[in-house]
A and B are shown apart, each in its own frame.
Chain A
Amino acid sequence: MEWEVVIGLEVHVQLSTQSKLFSGASTTFGAAPNTQACAVDLAMPGTLPVPNAEAFRFAVMFGLAMNAEIGHRSVFERKNYFYPDLPKGYQTTQLAEPIVGPGEIEIHLEDGSSKKVRLHHAHLEEDAGKSLHEAVFEEGHGMSGIDLNRAGTPLIEIVSEPDLRSAAEAVAYLKKIHSIVTYLGISDGDMSQGSMRCDANVSVRLKGEEELGTRTEIKNVNSFRFVERAIKVEAERQIDLLEDGGTVVQETRLYDSDKNETRSMRSKEVANDYRYFPCPDLLPVELSDDYVEQLRSELPELPDAKSARFASEYGLSAYDADQLTQERALADYFETVAKASGEPKLAANWMMGELAALLNREELSIEQSPVSAEHLAGLIERIKDNTISSKIAKQVFEAMASGEGDADTVIEKRGLKQVSDTGAIEQMVDEVIANSARQVENYRNADESKRPKMMGYFVGQIMKASKGQANPQMINKILKEKLDALL
């Protein structure tokens, strides 16, 4: 039996507005507990919500980037449930009339293919606070703490149609969302800090079947890698269950990354009746066409457009262009290097080679790169003007990475400048020829077609003598002249 996995994702993205969705309190991450919660966030009696215009601006920008319909009228509703980190006893969210309607984006898969994924809708809502169950108080046996700093932080919840067919597609979709929100500058997209969180709806069905299988929802998976593993392991669980003649129960499950398994949450959660109704403290928000068109005209260049431009303008392969445009900071870095050095292909090669390896090894983001775009461009220029060879350049790159300054400083300080002085190279060539009587003899006796290959030995010896600094083109030229003179 061949099974098909069907996945829909609900992605929560925290918007990087200065203040909260309905209050003036700051949204900065990591402050001491309850220092960023005002009377509104604490749901003190008589306090009222006032919508944050910036959050609307961000949500509309997102909708436009997703090629989605924009809700010119959006309505906040109350989703009622009791939890200690939900101060009002309801979450203010959108249901019937969300800010962003249906849309569609293209995702790019590792095999080079791409696929369209439909957006069901995206809505604005407020985040809850946090319940802290572990050792909050030094003497607090069995006590839980509540931190309301996060309560009221604006979120957009992005709901896809069940269009994804594998864990890899789900990750590609998630990366696309990440790339769009960071390009737009509406979120830092930091999954480790919870700025982006993902719930996955997973079901399986026999290939060719039309009807969807019973789905489970995996809650709050917080990294790309875990999303992939959680979906895989959940799909496998469902397939095993069905193949053994069992049935899938519609429920919410949690992914345990240590054991790499999903576990059922109590079904009480599923039985909740949230009693949604329009929030009477907030009027419907109406957005004019002018407002939306203004935002459309201000949208930055988005990943797909940038990738296409990089391919045509800089002559990059589609793959390279795609890789370099996944993150806006990476793309900006590339353009700086490409423009400053005038060598876009070298820039791409260096970024996807040495730089990627360095960042990966040091676990740094492009923003934290110890080698700045200007420094990398300087290095490429020195390769271009033959001051150093590509091989020496790697040495210079490592030195720049450990903070030894820009390329020129490193080359100067370490004396790595390529030797391009004809006299000096001639002298080295003469010495190697004089010390290699046997190889010279072989060269002379060899068939003409084999001679170019045999030159490699002499070049290697000369490079060694010059500590790699001799200009290879010049070595080749002078060596050939001298060897041919011996024929």
Chain B
Amino acid sequence: MHQLTIAEIIRGLREREFSSVEITRQLLTRIEQLDREFNSFITITAESALEQAEAADRCLAAGGAPALCGVPIAHKDIFCTRGVRTSCGSKMLDNFVPPYDARVVEQLQAAGTVSLGKTNMDEFAMGSSNETSFYGPVKNPWNPEHVPGGSSGGSAAAVAAQLVPGATATDTGGSIRQPAALTNTTGIKPTYGRVSRWGMVAFASSLDQGGPVARTAEDVAYLLAAMSGHDERDSTSLNRPVPDFAAGLNDDLAGLRIGVPKEYFGEGLDGDTASRVQDALKEYEKLGAKLVDISLPHTGLAVPAYYVIAPAEASANLSRFDGVRYGYRCENPADLRDLYMRSRGEGFGEEVKRRILVGTYALSAGYYDAYYNKAQQVRRLIKQDFVQAFEQVDVIMGPTAPHPAFRIGEKGDDPVAMYLEDIYTLSANLAGLPAMSLPCGLVNGLPVGLQIIGNYLDEGRMLNAAHRYQQATDWHRATAPYAHAGGDQ
């Protein structure tokens, strides 16, 4: 049962082939057996999962059940869950039990899903390898010596290891798409404002956006539909109708104009990865799409702009973790200054501290114009690149990440090399555009992701393009070798 997609689970549950309790129990067993290896979960909520599954089965039996009734999922540990520890991958919040649910958690609960637990992540979503988690690194089910990507590495690895068919995730600079690419899963970061940020622990507020990871574009469409919509508790939430993303999945791609930015195929892109992406583009031509060479001239400035804006926002967003009201507090503080310095010094990990320092510096008197203001100007230029490109094309395609999953520890002491992992994904966050990643091949047994960037609110068309590709190819069906361990009882 663990190989089933969400679409197959929905059918199976409704046709009484199995119950929600049965599949929930089976996945919980797999998590117990396999996750010691992958470390993709921080918290497993077996008891409440089974209660939710029982309730879902009753609801399914009674009729009129909501769309995702009885479907097991997991939440990235950045989403607040009432009564369940929400750590954000940090020692700082190791003891934090929120008294409220994130909007996304409420929505998926209302849609009938069963939550198996909370997935591992880079600390405060800061990282591209899942190595910065207080709970230890997540291992890639394709090769446990390799990283699963980050920051939503736990969600992506759990899906790739078939511990859960889909999971929530967040993407500030590529944190959904890059792990999806590195684990052969499908993930989408919708338009900024599509998914409410209420109850999602903030990293960089103007860039953060929630979204799902699953095994197919169709599954992702189901989850995204449940997660989207206006929320008056988030002032940046878009008050726009949510289309039925699944309805147009099978639309014909004839005439689809695909922009191929030359800047995404330059220096730094691994040759094998490039050829897998080129193969995917050829497949699209077969499906009737037209490739259009385009230029996004400011792409090279995305990394520096992002690594000013995101840390600047983070430096303020993380000020609330001061040891006063909740979270980690140092032992026996001598005075207020000591309380602040040691609570934060001991509660935060290295990468988080590095970014707080960078952000604080960028906002300091005398440096603000040179860094923060300049970065905001660059951000507008990057957005303008896309606005112009979308006058000629319907979607933009290219690689999600410059190369397949690297080894754990390989980039540990080189933060800049780590930041360059996000070179193709950052721009969509800076511009607020929807973007997704889907599997398009393997290099040395490790997955490669194809990135699709869409116009504002055009997630439906992206999902349609991804789904048609997955109808024509089998890359997304390739299973991680280490997911074969364990299995049906």
Contacts and interface: CB of A to CB of B under 8 A. Distances in A.
Q: Do A and B bind each other?
A: yes
A281 to B, nearest CB: 5
Nearest to B124: A45
Nearest to A49: B235
Interface stretch (A67-75, A272-280, A448-456): A272-280
B80 A45 contact: yes
A47 B319 CA distance: 14
Of A43, A45, A50, A87, which is in contact with the most chain B CB atoms at under 10 Å from its CB? A45
B204 A280 contact: yes
A82 B235 CA distance: 25
B198 interface: yes
Contacts of A226: none
B198 A280 contact: no
Contacts, number: 100
A44 B98 contact: yes
B363 to A, nearest CB: 4
Contacts of B318: 89
B324 A84 contact: yes
Contacts of A51: 235
A301 B79 CA distance: 51
Interface stretch (B47-55, B364-372, B453-461): B364-372
Contact of B201 (A46, A78, A282, A283): A46
B326 to A, nearest CB: 7
Of B232, B234, B325, B364, which is in contact with the most chain A CB atoms at under 10 Å from its CB? B325
Interface residues of A, number: 28
A87 B365 contact: no
Interface bin, chain B: 35 or more
Nearest to B336: A84
Contacts of B99: 39, 44
Contacts of B204: 280
B319 A283 contact: no
Interface in B193-208: 197-202, 204-206
B320 A88 contact: yes
A283 B206 CA distance: 10
B236 A45 contact: no
Of B79, B80, B235, which is in contact with the most chain A CB atoms at under 10 Å from its CB? B235
Contact of B316 (A39, A44, A273, A277): A277
A273 B102 contact: no
B239 to A, nearest CB: 12
Nearest to A45: B201
Nearest to B340: A82
Contacts of B198: 46-48
B88 A280 contact: no
A432 interface: no
Nearest to A79: B316
A45 B320 contact: yes
B363 A80 contact: yes
Contacts of A283: 235-236
Interface in B359-398: 360, 363-365, 368, 372
A281 B320 contact: no
B419 interface: no
Contacts of A90: 316, 319
Interface in A31-80: 39, 42-51, 78, 80
A433 interface: no
Nearest to A84: B324
A129 to B, nearest CB: 10
A300 to B, nearest CB: 31
Contacts of B206: 280
B322 A82 contact: yes
B267 to A, nearest CB: 32
Contacts of A273: 364-365
Of A46, A50, A84, A277, which is in contact with the most chain B CB atoms at under 10 Å from its CB? A46
Interface of A: 39, 42-51, 78, 80, 82, 84, 87-90, 146, 273, 275-277, 280-283
Given A44-B100, A276-B363, 7 more contacts: A45-B98, A46-B80, A46-B201, A82-B340, A88-B319, A277-B312, A282-B235
